[in-house]
Amino acid sequence: MEFIRIASELFVGFICLFFLTKLLGRATITQLTTFDFISALVLGELVGNALYDSEIGIGRIVFAVAVWGALIYFTEVITQKNIPFRLFLEGRPSIIIRNGKVSYKELQRNRLDIDQLLHMLRSKNAFSIREVAYAILETDGTMSVLLKSDYAAPTKGDFQLPVTQPTLPIAFISDGRILTKNLTESGFTEEWLHQEIGKQGIPSVKQVLYAEWQQGDALFIQKY
């Protein structure tokens, strides 16, 4: 009977976790942030501990998983609409290398040493810091790398073309909200931004899902 109880609770727990991951979406699995990691641990503990406690029945397992899943779901909904809350839970990407120069301050803030940085760069096929124009540590712990023009594939050096300085795209609007810090640091004003989105026939910032600017290009806008 004990084996039957464990098997039945395992089956119910598996079904609950399966539907919960379906509900929360694939991004929770493929882009595991600190908050997502903690949530996954708690879910595993809820089901795992229940298996070896004969006093905990299937009903309690379903209830515990449902309540925890509801908390995660509503948290995800809030973070989609509330940028400050999203940054609080998930953090923000860190530019570790900017214009080919390593930021020691960002290394310290993210508890990285130079060997770890080199390892992460090699995983992106950048075997020397001199090859990297920008390196960004994402909120899920992965590294995004933008190579210098000389080392990008295919390289301009191969075709004997003039070398241009790579630039990093900067988000100005996210989820219908202006990212004021990014805008001002790039030397623009909200008035200019409203004029630019107006030129593309969009009357309000709230209708813009995402907008980014890159030097030398027009403002890229994606509506809802």
Residue 146 tokens, joined: 């933008």
Q: Which residue has the tokens 């997502």?
A: 36
Bigger pLDDT: 136 vs 12:
136
Per-residue pLDDT, 27: 47
Three-class secondary structure assignment of 123-156: CCCCCCHHHEEEEEECCCCCEEEEECHHHCCCCC
Q: Is the pLDDT of residue 4 over 60?
A: yes
Per-residue pLDDT, 217: 84
Helices 2-24, 34-51: crossing angle, 10 deg rounding: 160
Report domain extents, the chain: 2-88, 92-151, 170-223
Q: Are 75 and 89 in contact (CB under 8 A)?
A: yes
Q: Please state the rounded mean pLDDT for residues 23-42.
A: 58
Residue 32 tokens, joined: 């595991």
Per-residue pLDDT, 25: 53
Name the residue among 93, 162, 169, 101 with its Cα closest to residue 132: 101
CATH 3.30.240.20 is right for the domain spanning 170-223: yes
Q: Are 192 and 178 in contact (CB under 8 A)?
A: no
- Taking the C-alpha atoms of residue 85 and residue 107, their distance in angstroms, rounded to an integer, is 24
C-alpha separations of 136 from 39, 103, 121, 208 in Å: 25, 11, 10, 25
**Residue 178: strand, helix, or coil:** strand
Per-residue pLDDT, 54: 65
User: What is the band of 2 on the pLDDT scale with cuts at 50, 70, 90?
Assistant: low
Q: Is the pLDDT of residue 16 over 60?
A: yes
Q: Give the residues across from 132 on adjacent strands.
A: 147
Bigger pLDDT: 73 vs 51:
73
To the question of pTM greater than 0.85 for the whole model, the response is no
Q: Please state the rounded mean pLDDT for residues 114-127.
A: 87
Q: Is the pLDDT of residue 143 over 70?
A: yes
Encode pLDDT of 69-103 as tens digits. Answer: 777 777 777 777 777 777 776 678 889 999 888 88
Q: Please state the rounded mean pLDDT for residues 36-59.
A: 67
- Taking the C-alpha atoms of residue 150 and residue 87, their distance in angstroms, rounded to an integer, is 35
Q: Which residue has the tokens 């900067």?
A: 170
Q: Is the pLDDT of residue 221 over 60?
A: yes
- Taking the C-alpha atoms of residue 125 and residue 99, their distance in angstroms, rounded to an integer, is 18
Q: Are 174 and 222 in contact (CB under 8 A)?
A: no
Residue 69 tokens, joined: 């899943």
Q: Is the pLDDT of residue 145 over 90?
A: yes
Please tell me the class of the 92-151 domain: alpha beta
